[in-house]
Structure 1
Amino acid sequence: MKPTILGIDISKKKFHAALMLENGKTKPKVFSNDPEKFNELLTWPNRHHVTSIHACMEATSIYGEALAEFLYEAGFTVSVVNPARIKGFAKGELLRTKTDQVDAALIARFCAAIRPPAWLPLSPEVKERQALLRRLESLMEIQQQEKNLLETATGTIAKSIESHLEYLEQAISQTKEPISGHFYQHPNLKAQRDLLTTIPGIGEHSAAVILAEIGTVQAYKNARQVAAHAGLTPVERKSGSSVNGKPRLSRMGNARLRNGLYWPAIVAWRHNPLLKTFGDRLLARGKAKMQVIGAVMRKLLHLAFGILKSNKPFDPNFLSTAP
Structure 2
Amino acid sequence: MSKIVLGIDISKKDFHVTLILENQTTKSKVFKNNPEGFLVLKNWLSKQGATQVHGCMEATSTYGEALAEFLVENGHKVSVVNPSRIKGFAKSELLRTKTDKVDAAVIARFCLAIAPEIWTPLPVEVKELQALLRRLESLTDMYQQEHNRLETATPTVAALIESHLEQLKQLIVEVKQLIHDHFECHPDLKAKRDLLTSIPGIGEQTAAVLLTEMGCIEQYRNARQLAAHAGLTPQERSSGSSVQAKSHLSRIGNARLRKALYMPAVAAMRHNPLLKLFAQRLLDRGKVKMQVLGAVMRKLLHFAFAILKSQKPFDPDYLAHAS
TM-score category by the smaller chain? over 0.9
Give the C-alpha shift of residue 107 in structure 1: 0.9
- Please identify, of 21-30 and 83-92, the stretch whose mean Cα deviation from structure 2 is larger: 21-30
Q: Which residue of the partner structure matches residue 28 of structure 2?
A: 28
- Contact 1:277 / 1:321 at 8 angstroms: preserved in 2? no
Map 1:249-264 to 2 at 5 A.
249-264=249-264
Q: Which residue of the partner structure matches residue 109 of structure 1?
A: 109
Q: Which residue of the partner structure matches residue 62 of structure 2?
A: 62
SS at match of 2:121: coil
2:290 and 2:216 map into 1 onto residues whose CA distance is 29
1:224 and 1:304 map into 2 onto residues whose CA distance is 12
Structure 2: gaps of 5 or more residues: none
Runs of 4+ in 1 over 6 A off after TM superposition: none
- The AA in structure 2 aligned to 1:107 is I
- Please identify, of 280-289 and 218-227, the stretch whose mean Cα deviation from structure 2 is larger: 218-227
2:150 and 2:62 map into 1 onto residues whose CA distance is 33
Give the C-alpha shift of residue 311 in structure 1: 1.2
- Count of aligned residue pairs for this structure pair: 323
Q: Percent identity?
A: 67
- The AA in structure 2 aligned to 1:69 is E
1:130 and 1:73 map into 2 onto residues whose CA distance is 21
Distance verdict in 2 for CA 1:247–1:24, change over 3 Å: farther
Map 1:40-189 to 2 at 5 A.
40-189=40-189
SS at match of 2:316: coil
SS at match of 1:38: helix
Give the C-alpha shift of residue 21 in structure 1: 3.4
Give the C-alpha shift of residue 97 in structure 1: 1.0
1:244 and 1:95 map into 2 onto residues whose CA distance is 30
Instruction: Please tell me whether residue 306 in structure 1 is matched to residue 288 in structure 2.
Output: no
- Contact 2:19 / 2:27 at 8 angstroms: preserved in 1? yes
Q: Which residue of the partner structure matches residue 316 of structure 1?
A: 316
2:111 and 2:189 map into 1 onto residues whose CA distance is 33
Q: Which residue of the partner structure matches residue 230 of structure 1?
A: 230
- The AA in structure 1 aligned to 2:146 is E
Give the C-alpha shift of residue 270 in structure 1: 1.5
1:9 and 1:280 map into 2 onto residues whose CA distance is 47
Q: Which residue of the partner structure matches residue 6 of structure 1?
A: 6
Give the C-alpha shift of residue 85 in structure 1: 2.1
- Contact 2:306 / 2:322 at 8 angstroms: preserved in 1? no
Distance verdict in 2 for CA 1:239–1:164, change over 3 Å: same
The alignment yields a C-alpha RMSD, in angstroms, of: 2.1
